[in-house]
Amino acid sequence: MSDKELMKLVIGKRIEIISKEVGGLFPDAKIRHTIDPEGRGVISVTMDGYFLSQEFVETELSCDRPERWTEYLKVLGDRMRLVIVVPESRARSMRLKMLEFNRWWLFCYLVFSYDDKGNVRMVGRPLDEGV
């Protein structure tokens, strides 16, 4: 599967999930998405002209761009829900970076990962092997 096909698949799966999450509470919400020239996906949820949520589906390369953190901070500062979806190989490091970025205080954000087949899963706390 090409990178572009994978991005479209992951975006489609996230849009399905978002529709279920948002549909009951905000039936008039609109979900839009774009894929920039770099191959990175952006999903926006709006209602009555206001942003409710913004999601960034990152690629291996886009994860490393320093301007991403400015974009994430803007979303959080505007009191929107921030969702970051990264390749599986980047999931743990992104989760830890977000915790550090937030100074360990939980803003309204979620981190998801995707594999090379387009499967999407939430990245939570690291599991305690002893439990």
Q: Would 129 be classed as within a structural domain?
A: no
Say what the pLDDT of residue 100 is.
78
Tens digits of per-residue pLDDT, 90-128?
998 888 888 777 764 556 788 999 999 999 999 976 554
Tens digits of per-residue pLDDT, 37-89?
888 999 999 999 999 999 999 999 998 888 888 898 888 888 889 999 999 99
Q: Would 69 be classed as within a structural domain?
A: yes
Q: Where in the sequence is the domain holding 63, given as residue range(s)?
A: 3-122
Cα dihedral 94/95/100/101 (nearest 10)? 60
For the chain, how many structural domains are there in total? Answer: 1
Non-local CB neighbours of 57 within 8 Å, separated by 6+ positions: 7, 10, 11, 14, 40, 41, 42, 43, 85, 114
Q: Is the pLDDT of residue 19 over 90?
A: yes
Q: Would 127 be classed as within a structural domain?
A: no
Q: Would 131 be classed as within a structural domain?
A: no
Q: Would 128 be classed as within a structural domain?
A: no
Q: Would 98 be classed as within a structural domain?
A: yes
Whole-model pTM: value is: 0.87
- Nearest Cα neighbor of 43 from 51, 94, 114, 27 is 51
Q: Would 30 be classed as within a structural domain?
A: yes
